[in-house]
Amino acid sequence: MPRAFLIEEGLDWDTIAASFWAWLDEAARTLDGQPPHDRVSEMIAAQRPRLEAFLAERGGGEQERFVLRTAIALLGASYAGTEKLVAALKERGALERPPKPAFDTLG
């Protein structure tokens, strides 16, 4: 993938880093029990039962919570970058399926 395309679509280092920090902040907010207020924290809140189970299985201390917050931020930033890439490719028609033939002939 050409670098110019990635930068043009907002997939440069600064944007990806900003996404990571936003996800980390929202993960901390959500795991600290604050109500979700945007799509990021709503997505994290939807996983709350799995997150709580993860913490319960591992003792739920501060180290486990730190690891979980960081993992959520990495996963979220990756997801956001993938969504941006897919949207840009769709916009350019790069993800369209070839049209099916209107009829099939037997040879």
Question: Which residue range(s) make up the domain with 69?
Answer: 20-91
Which of the two residues, 32 and 103, has the higher pLDDT score?
32
Q: Would 102 be classed as within a structural domain?
A: no
Tell which residue, 59, 73, 61, 63, has the closest CA to residue 30.
Answer: 73
Q: Would 33 be classed as within a structural domain?
A: yes
For 7-27, the pLDDT digits (tens) are: 777 778 888 888 899 889 888
Q: Would 6 be classed as within a structural domain?
A: no
Tell me how many domains the chain contains: 1
* Distance, CA of 70 to CA of 21 (rounded, Å): 10
Q: What is the mean pLDDT of residues 71-89?
A: 87
Q: Would 9 be classed as within a structural domain?
A: no
Q: Which residue do the tokens 């399926």 mark?
A: 97
**Residue 105: its pLDDT value, please?**
62
Q: pTM of whole model > 0.75?
A: no
Q: Would 104 be classed as within a structural domain?
A: no
- Contact assessment for residue 58 and residue 9, using Cβ atoms and an 8 Å cutoff: no
Q: Would 60 be classed as within a structural domain?
A: yes
For 17-57, the pLDDT digits (tens) are: 888 998 898 888 888 888 777 777 788 888 888 888 888 88
- Contact assessment for residue 5 and residue 88, using Cβ atoms and an 8 Å cutoff: yes
Q: Would 76 be classed as within a structural domain?
A: yes
Q: Would 72 be classed as within a structural domain?
A: yes
